[in-house]
Amino acid sequence: MSSAIIPSPNSNHTKLKEYTVDDDEEPTTRRIRHLSLHLNPSPDHRQLLQLESCSGRAKMSVNAEKLSSYLRGKHRDIQERVFEYFNSRPDLQTPLEILKDDYRELCMRQLVGVVREAGIRPFRYVVEDPSKYFAIIEAVGSVDMSLGIKLGVQYSLWGGSVLNLGTKKHRDKYFEGIDNLEYLGCFAMTELHHGSNVQGIQTIATFDPVTDEFVITTPNDGAIKWWIGNAAVHGKFATVFAKLMLPTHDTKVVTDMGVHAFIVPIRDLKTHKTLPGVEINDCGHKVGLNGVDNGALRFRDVRIPRDNLLNRFGDVSRDGTYTSSLPTVNKRFAATLGELVGGRVGLAYSSVGVLKIAATIAIRYSLLRQQFGPPKKPEISILDYQSQQHKLMPMLASTYAFHFATVNLVEKYAQMKKTHDEQLVADVHALSAGLKSYVTSYTAKSLSICREACGGHGYAAVNRFGSLRNDHDIFQTFEGDNTVLLQQVAGDLLKQYQEKFRGGTFAVTWNYLRESMNTYLSQPNPVTARWEGEDHLRDPKFQLDAFRYRTSRLLQSAAVRLRKHTKTLGSFGAWNRCLNHLLTLAESHIETVILENFIEAIKSCPDASSRDALKLVCDLYALNRIWNDIGTYRNVDYVAPNKAKAIHKLAEYLSFQVKNIARELVDAFDLPDNMTRAPIGKQSLGEAYTEYTQYVGF
């Protein structure tokens, strides 16, 4: 005979109770007996199926309205204006079946409607109130992701480049036209041969001192600007990134001053015809986001005035003299890209909005859908199955965690725009790279999980998972490829690590490493490694310590490996040899930052019932992440075998507890039906099947 353990139903803390299994029993017989217990449980085994009795606790009470008020924050009103406008304009709703060209025109009408009819002027907030701007982006993205991206191209990229890379003369000349959509524009950085490696772009802008102009040239096919939003149909201007070439006194010799940004008109403001020297072609039908008109641009010696150089970080005088407050090409390039970080902030924030929609649809359907059940009993909700909880509840917890992390990122970004503090600039740059990469990758995977969790009905286009998945997929690539961005995070961590051991201090986001690096250098405590009580496992200190320990261990071991391999492979070869290790390090750090933000958000929540709900969700997020990487903790004896089992069991139990309040948690996202637009995801579950059958013609 052998023994196994089950949770005792008689205590709030974990106790163990034995039951016996016959070692000589045939596997087939044992399997049949186990299945019979599930279908017709005896009193002694019913506790295995009734997780409620594991702790004897009643279902948590959650006020969805109060929780929603805390989540939505101070910009709820502007988002509701967006929702109300589109609810009043059914003609602007995107149909399921629409041709590419029609979709692009509809998307343009949607944008014009928001700005000119609804009177919402996002450009005013790009610098003055970034958190309000990103709230608008999230709301319009809920209407249609193509609309969110088109609005972002106009105001974040084209408009943002003028505001952030130009000077007063540019703002005075272009602000009003960008704001009211008279000056529709593009952001022309990516080329056919270069995307992530911006310093490798080949378009050139040569200064002509005779005419006081820059000559914009595409020297070869590889330098054609590619995937340029707004270029194929609607754009009239483009911010073109090109290498600034200055002639010397010997006009046959030019000096490369590095990548700069130039305002280049591409279409006539009155006739909308393509201007001389500019060639525009359509990038065609895409996997998603077909409401955005992506095009390719070639420039054949296009002349622009010298004033069209966006000259905040470098300028050229009438006589061809170059001046800059920054001494090197690399510093100017870093400053230029640093000012464009708002795009990454917006994508991270918007990706959470997409995840909220998908989670809402999948969880509401899972509460509605009933399949199977005990003999002679009603069918049960598919969310009552542990497997469905395992798919969706950690995802719901992550959605909440990402919400607070990206809200904090937006606040940091807004503070950075006001203060221009150098340390904060560096912090936001690294944090936005990490969160954009981590959140968009997680959301992309989750969209497929949500589709699968909804079975055949999830495959219907009307229930949106297909369009959400296709439209969001590119979030992992534009504004920085996710793998490249994680390497930036890892590089910053290693830089901080090296400076620490030279007597320096850590940047704001890395403060926790001061203590946890010292902890890593000591052996794990064999006593705490075995603690398995629920109070201990749900203690934020234990959770944060575990996350920080993992990051510190990965950082220290990465530094050792890089030093070792650099001796034989050189710095580039060593980095490539350790690349997967470095990506894991970056993800671990970002997970730690996310947990920190979640814990702080719980402390700041004014409503007690909302605080309790958020604490439950946060515990699930933390313990699920620890369990997912339990091998790391076991390898170094940070967690003993008994503690690992306790973490797993508690994470499953917390998934069940979160399931009990899942309806309230998704309702707190406060997404109206005209925004989710999926029959199976309606707020009133009783209407879901009715609307669905009506949709197909019954």
Q: What is the pLDDT of residue 32?
A: 46
Which of 338, 363, 392 corresponds to the end of one domain?
Answer: 338
Same domain? 309 vs 369 = no
Q: Domain for residue 275, yes or no? A: yes
- For residue 332, what pLDDT is reported? 87
**Per-residue pLDDT tens digits for 384-442:** 999 999 999 999 999 999 999 999 999 999 999 888 888 888 899 999 999 999 999 99
pLDDT tens, position by position, 287-328: 999 999 999 999 999 999 999 999 999 999 999 999 999 888
Beta bridge partners of 262: 240, 309
- What CA dihedral angle connects 226, 232, 236 and 239, to 10 degrees? -10
Query: Tokens 């959770």 — which residue?
Result: 543
392 and 250 in one domain?
Answer: no
**What's the whole-number mean pLDDT along residues 4-33?**
40
326 & 431 share domain: no
Task: Label residue 683 by pLDDT band (50, 70, 90).
Answer: confident
Catalytic residues: 479
Query: Predicted confidence band at 142 (pLDDT cuts at 50, 70, 90)?
Result: very high
How far from chain centre, in Å, is Cα 84? Answer: 26
462 and 96 in contact (C-beta within 8 Å)?
yes
- Across 74-83, average pLDDT: 93
Does residue 265 sit in the same domain as residue 353? Answer: no
Of the pLDDT bands very low, low, confident and very high (cuts 50, 70, 90), residue 574 is: very high
**Distance from CA of residue 258 to its chain's centroid?**
31
Mean pLDDT of the region 23-44 = 45
Expressed in angstroms, the distance from the first to the final Cα of the chain is: 60
Residue 537 falls inside a structural domain: yes
Give residue 39's pLDDT band: very low, low, confident or very high (50, 70, 90): very low
Residue 38 has pLDDT above 70, yes or no: no
Give percent above pLDDT 70 in the chain.
88
d(CA 557, CA 494) in angstroms, rounded, equals 11
Q: Is 287 in contact with 447 (CB distance < 8 Å)?
A: no
Instruction: Report if residue 682 sits inside a domain.
Output: no
Helix (H) or strand (E) holding 254, with range, is strand 254-265
- Please report whether residue 585 resides in a domain: yes
Predicted confidence at residue 153, as pLDDT, reads 96
Specify the long-range contacts of residues 477-480, CB closer than 8 Å, at least 24 apart: 478/227, 478/347, 479/343, 479/344, 479/347, 479/436, 480/196, 480/344, 480/433, 480/436, 480/437
Between 573 and 636, the more confident residue is 573
What is the gyration radius of the CA atoms in the chain, in angstroms?
28
Judge if 239 and 281 occupy the same domain. yes
pLDDT of residue 14: 36
| Residue 584 resides in a domain | yes
Pairing of strands 302-305, 295-299: unpaired
Q: Which helix (H) or strand (E) covers residue 259, if one does?
A: strand 254-265
68 neighbors 668 (Cβ within 8 angstroms): yes
Residue 4: predicted pLDDT = 36
- Over residues 455-509, the pLDDT tens digits come to 999 999 999 999 999 999 999 998 889 999 999 999 999 988 887 655 555 555 5
Rounded CA separation 173/261 (Å): 16
State the pairing for strand pair 204-208/237-247.
parallel
What's the CA gap between 96 and 101, in Å, rounded? 14
Q: Residue 250 is part of which domain span?
A: 187-338
417 shares a domain with 321: no
Choice between 477 and 687, residue whose per-residue pLDDT is larger: 477
8-state DSSP, 117? I
Q: And the tokens for 332?
A: 């100017």
| Phi, psi values for residue 435, rounded to 5° | -70, -40
Q: How many domains does the chain fold into?
A: 2
% of the chain exceeding 90 in pLDDT: 74
Average of pLDDT values for 243-269?
89
Do 381 and 310 share a structural domain? no
Residues 383 and 471 reside in one and the same domain: yes
CATH number of the domain encompassing residue 210: 2.40.110.10
- Clarify whether residues 498 and 631 are in a common domain: yes
Q: How confident is the model at residue 453 (pLDDT cuts 50, 70, 90)?
A: very high
Do residue 346 and residue 228 come from a single domain?
no
Work out the number of other CB atoms within 10 angstroms of the CB of residue 682. 21
Least confident span in 56-70, 170-184, 499-513: 499-513
User: Given a cut of 50, is residue 582 above it in pLDDT?
Assistant: yes
Give the domain CATH number at 533: 1.20.140.10
Please report which confidence band the pLDDT of residue 636 belongs to, taking 50, 70 and 90 as the band edges: confident
Structure confidence at residue 65 (pLDDT)? 93
Q: Is residue 84 part of a domain?
A: no
Interacting residues of 374 by C-beta distance below 8 A, sequence separation 6+? 39, 40
pLDDT attached to residue 337: 82
The more confident residue out of 423 and 221 is 221
Specify the pairing of strand 254-265 against strand 302-305.
unpaired
Residue 47: per-residue pLDDT: 39
The predicted pLDDT at position 254 comes to: 86
Q: Give pLDDT, residue 144.
A: 96
Same domain, 328 and 351: no
Q: Is residue 154 part of a domain?
A: no
- Among 1-10, 367-376, 656-665, the range with the most confident prediction by mean pLDDT is 656-665
What ranges make up the beta strands (E) of 71-125?
none
From 307, 338, 369, the end of a domain falls on 338
- Are 301 and 380 part of one and the same domain? no
Let me know if residue 80 belongs to a domain. Answer: no
Six-digit token string for 663 = 């309806």
Average pLDDT over residues 511-527: 64
Q: What integer pLDDT is reported at residue 528 of this predicted model?
A: 78
Task: Give the pLDDT confidence score for residue 127 in this predicted structure.
Answer: 84
Average pLDDT for 94-104: 96
Residue where a domain terminates, one of 338, 372, 402: 338
pTM of the model: 0.88
> Taking residues 584-595, what's their average pLDDT?
97
**Average of per-residue pLDDT values in the chain:** 88
Helix (H, G, I), strand (E, B) or coil at 309: strand
